[in-house]
């Protein structure tokens, strides 16, 4: 049985090792269009801040790791076409230009996404960068250390834009963070939490929210970003404003949605027999919304890969992919947050009835001095009719991000506020209060006194 995997990132890697560990009789080959296997963009901020052993250590795996298990890994090999009738793919060696036809029994697509460039005048000027993959990591690192680069504009205040802004602010650059929406992280966190973070951003950079980018200024290199609120000087621009799925090569064979995401059924099968898709190039099922949604995370790709491999050779899988909550975490200078499930932005966008609640407290009993008793914040998003917890986020200067995983578990199991309010959690004044933080947040959401 021959399995071909397209793309050597999280989805491709997980598929390969799961296949090689689970089955003795499967021939596994990964084709990767890029020249390096397999830079981990999740570690890019740590690399740019000089907190990793070496750039080339920031990877998901080395080819030898998969080859030691009996798999085959080819860098610089792009899969350019699928031929469902004879179950072959065309593979192009991008160095020599040579093409070959390779047979498959099962084909797994984990071709991911590419960051979008902006469709505005002069977007091809030099020093307009993206933030994904090893080549951009190398360029960003050089720019960070370049004294000629003083003004940095980051377009897009989602996770990647926040990581980029923080790197360049810490490197002593003057950073302007822009977004078309009204607040940084506005699609990830409810307003009570972004209200806490906004002054933190403003201590380190300029914020330009509600900004429409109309073009870039410059001759050869970029010198400014033109917006409906004026021109912002820029020696470097980092665009982190959405992604495009790497699926143009599939058009006409594999069904794509209007924006190019690969359509899959609940078993992660495409419309073409024996062709499956996972990772950022598909829209996974969100457990709290009950619908497919963009949840572009390594965690999602790996869970899909594991599910797929477990059911790959069943004529009809006995169960569908269970979906994800999209749990994620990030630091913003001294603050750390974790979030899972829906928030008011994503609930509204997906037509899920919701209400929200915000809880603020100190982490430990009141007799603990302030310096050892940080403020903690919880935002819950829940169904107002049946109190099902749809989403939640925790924020503090202390690292309470593990509570985000507790919320992810509650969301996955469709627990209610009442369940969380009563749940038995530990108490020890070295760590928390008489009732644990999430008990208190749920009790507060139910209108019960503290």
Catalytic residue among 42, 72, 174, 204: 42
Q: For residues 405-423, b (16+ Cβ closer than 10 Å) or e, as one string?
A: ebbbebbbeebbbeebbee
Smaller CB separation from ligand FAD, 232 or 297: 297
Choices 96-104, 294-302, 352-360, 406-414 (CB under 6 A): range interacting with ligand FAD: 294-302
The rounded distance, in Å, linking the Cα atoms of 133 and 55 is: 11
Structure tokens at 425: 């959690």
Helices 191-204 and 159-170: crossing angle in degrees, nearest 10, is 30
- Three-state DSSP class for 378? strand
Size of the site for ligand FAD (CB under 6 A): 34
Which residue, 213 or 298, is less far from ligand FAD as judged by CB?
298
The strands making up 77-83's β-sheet, listed across from edge to edge, are: 77-83, 88-93, 99-103
Pairwise CA distance, residues 13 & 36, whole Å: 13
* Part of the chain binding ligand FAD (CB under 6 A), chosen from 254-262, 275-283, 384-392, 409-417: 275-283
Give the nearer residue to ligand FAD in terms of CB position, either 137 or 441: 137
Measured in whole angstroms, the distance separating CA 161 from the mean position of its chain's CA atoms is: 12
42 is catalytic: yes
Per the listing, tokens 């070959």 go with: 100
Residue of 3, 4, 5, 11 that binds ligand FAD (CB under 6 A): 11
Would you count residue 72 as binding ligand FAD (CB under 6 A)?
no
Residue 18 touching ligand FAD (CB under 6 A): no
Q: Which two tokens stand for residue 371?
A: 């310096």
Closest CB to ligand FAD among residues 12, 341: 12
Q: Could you say whether residue 110 binds ligand FAD (CB under 6 A)?
A: yes
User: Residue 10 Cβ, how far from ligand FAD at the closest point, in Å?
Assistant: 4
Are 60 and 302 a contacting pair, CB within 8 Å?
no
For the question of residue 13 being annotated catalytic, the response is no
Contact with ligand FAD (CB under 6 A): which of 7, 186, 294, 341? 7
Give yes or no for residue 157 binding ligand FAD (CB under 6 A): no
8 Å CB contact between 237 and 225: yes
DSSP type of residue 317 = -
Q: Does 6 help bind ligand FAD (rule: CB under 6 A)?
A: yes
List the catalytic residue out of 10, 13, 77, 387. 10
Counting contacts by CB under 6 A, is residue 249 touching ligand FAD? yes
Hey, which residues between 38 and 57 contact ligand FAD (CB under 6 A)?
A: 41-42, 44
Closer to ligand FAD by CB, 287 or 297: give it.
Answer: 297
Kindly state whether residue 301 participates in binding ligand FAD, applying the rule CB under 6 A: yes
Whose CA is closest to 289, among 344, 346, 339? Answer: 346
Two tokens at 150? 């003083």
Rank residues 107 and 363 by Cβ distance to ligand FAD and give the closer one. 107
Min. distance of Cβ 11 from ligand FAD in angstroms?
Answer: 3
Q: Does 160 bind ligand FAD (CB under 6 A)?
A: yes
Cβ–Cβ < 8 Å for 222, 140: no
Is 133 in contact with 227 (CB distance < 8 Å)?
Answer: no
* 297 sits near ligand FAD (criterion: CB under 6 A): yes
Quick one: tokens of 437? 């933080």
Give the residue with the Cβ less far from ligand FAD, 299 or 423.
299
State yes or no: residue 288 binds ligand FAD (CB under 6 A).
no
**Minimum separation from the CB atom of position 272 to ligand FAD (A):** 15
The token pair that represents 170 in the structure block? 């810490």
Least Å from the CB of residue 255 to ligand FAD: 17
Residue placing its CB nearer to ligand FAD in the complex, 246 or 373: 246
φ and ψ of 157, to 5 deg: -105, 45
Task: Sort strands 128-129 and 291-292 into parallel, antiparallel or unpaired.
Answer: unpaired
CB 89, min distance to ligand FAD, A? 9
What span, in angstroms and rounded, lies between the C-alpha atoms of 390 and 415? 9
Q: How far is the CB of 445 from ligand FAD (least distance, A)?
A: 28
| DSSP states of 172-226 | T-EEEEE-SSSSTTTTTS-HHHHHHHHHHHHHHSEEE-S--EEEEEESSBEEEEE
Six token digits for residue 405: 């995983």
Backbone angles phi, psi at 13, to 5 degrees: -60, -50
- Residue 234 touching ligand FAD (CB under 6 A): no
Minimum CB distance to ligand FAD, residue 87 (Å): 17
Only one of the segments 182-190, 273-281, 381-389, 435-443 lies at the binding site for ligand FAD (rule: CB under 6 A); that segment is: 273-281
Residues 168-207 that bind ligand FAD (CB under 6 A): none
Tokens in use for 391? 């989403």
Catalog residues that contact ligand FAD under the rule CB under 6 A: 6-12, 31-34, 41-42, 44, 78-79, 110-113, 131-132, 160, 163, 246, 249, 279-281, 296-299, 301
What residues are labeled active site?
A: 10, 42
């Amino acid at each position: 049985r021959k399995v071909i995997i397209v793309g050597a990132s999280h989805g491709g890697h997980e598929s390969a090792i799961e296949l090689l560990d689970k089955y003795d009789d499967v021939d596994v080959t990964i084709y990767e269009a890029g020249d390096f296997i397999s830079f981990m963009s999740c570690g890019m901020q740590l690399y740019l801040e000089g907190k990793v052993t070496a750039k080339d250590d920031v990877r998901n795996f080395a080819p030898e790791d998969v080859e030691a298990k009996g798999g085959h890994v080819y860098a610089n090999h792009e899969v350019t076409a699928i031929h469902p009738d004879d179950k072959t793919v065309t593979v192009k060696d991008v160095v020599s230009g040579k093409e070959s036809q390779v047979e498959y029994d099962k084909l797994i697509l984990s071709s991911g996404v590419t960051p979008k460039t902006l469709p505005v005048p002069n977007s091809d000027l030099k020093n307009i960068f993206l933030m994904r993959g090893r080549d951009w990591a190398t360029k960003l690192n050089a720019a960070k250390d370049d004294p000629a680069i003083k003004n940095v504009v980051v377009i897009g205040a989602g996770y990647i834009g926040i990581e980029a802004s923080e790197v360049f602010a810490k490197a002593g650059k003057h950073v302007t963070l822009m977004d078309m929406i009204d607040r940084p992280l506005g699609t990830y966190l409810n307003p009570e939490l972004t209200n806490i973070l906004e002054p933190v951003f403003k201590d380190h950079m300029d914020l330009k929210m509600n900004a429409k980018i109309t073009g870039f200024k410059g001759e050869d290199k970029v010198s400014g970003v033109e917006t409906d609120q004026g021109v912002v000087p820029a020696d470097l621009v980092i665009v982190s404003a959405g992604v495009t799925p790497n699926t143009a090569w599939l058009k006409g064979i594999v069904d794509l949605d209007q924006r190019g995401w690969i359509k899959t059924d609940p078993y992660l099968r495409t419309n073409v027999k024996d062709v499956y898709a996972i990772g950022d190039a598909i829209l996974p099922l969100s457990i709290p919304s009950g619908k497919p949604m963009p949840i572009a995370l390594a965690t999602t790709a790996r869970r899909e890969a594991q599910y797929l491999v477990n059911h790959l050779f069943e004529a009809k899988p006995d169960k569908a992919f269970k979906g994800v909550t999209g749990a994620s975490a990030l630091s913003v200078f001294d603050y750390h947050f974790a979030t899972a499930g829906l928030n008011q932005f994503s609930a509204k966008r997906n037509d899920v009835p919701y209400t929200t609640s915000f809880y603020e407290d100190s982490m430990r009993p009141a007799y603990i001095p302030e310096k050892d008793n940080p403020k903690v914040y919880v935002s819950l998003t829940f169904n107002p009719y049946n109190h099902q917890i749809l989403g939640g986020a925790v924020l503090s200067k202390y690292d309470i991000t593990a509570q985000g995983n507790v919320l992810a578990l509650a969301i996955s199991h469709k627990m209610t506020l009442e369940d969380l309010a009563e749940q038995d959690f530990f108490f020890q004044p070295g760590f928390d209060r008489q009732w644990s933080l999430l008990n208190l947040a749920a009790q507060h959401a139910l209108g019960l006194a503290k």
